[in-house]
Structure 1
């Protein structure tokens, strides 16, 4: 959610879309829970590579 921004990058677009998604598991810290949710329930992620990159950044920033 910290990457939300008006500029249109793949990361900010994903963050903006996830913020608007009322069912997105925003409080989860479980990669598999979030990944499964994205794969099974949304159409705003065209490539899971974006999520994987953001997850790695999340892990680096929250050590």
Structure 2
């Protein structure tokens, strides 16, 4: 079974405040409205662009999404 992007993102959490992916994952943990069951790039991208202020640059999401795709085959 394919895991959701959120599930993958939770594997990236950690204490390193200089690692952009870890910061993204840590903040997503606190976001109760994050689309936790989605594996749709468009749905998650739209949500992040319209609803969050903890992601300074969508490139971070794009890079993390690529790793998600590679790890979720």
Normalised TM-score (structure 1): 0.96
Q: Which has the higher contact order (CA 8 A, sep 6+)?
A: 2
Query: Residue by residue, what CA displacement relative to the aligned partner does 1:22-47 show, whole Å, maximum 9, x if unpaired?
Result: 00012110000000000000000100
**Which structure 1 segments of 5+ residues have no match?**
none
Residue of 34, 38, 42 corresponding to 2:44: 34
**Which structure 2 segments of 5+ residues have no match?**
1-9
Following TM superposition, the consecutive aligned residue runs of length 4 or more in structure 1 with deviations greater than 2 angstroms are: none
Normalised TM-score (structure 2): 0.84
- Cα distance between partner residues in 2 of 1:26 and 1:13: 17
Q: CA-atom RMSD, angstroms?
A: 0.6
Aligned residues: 63
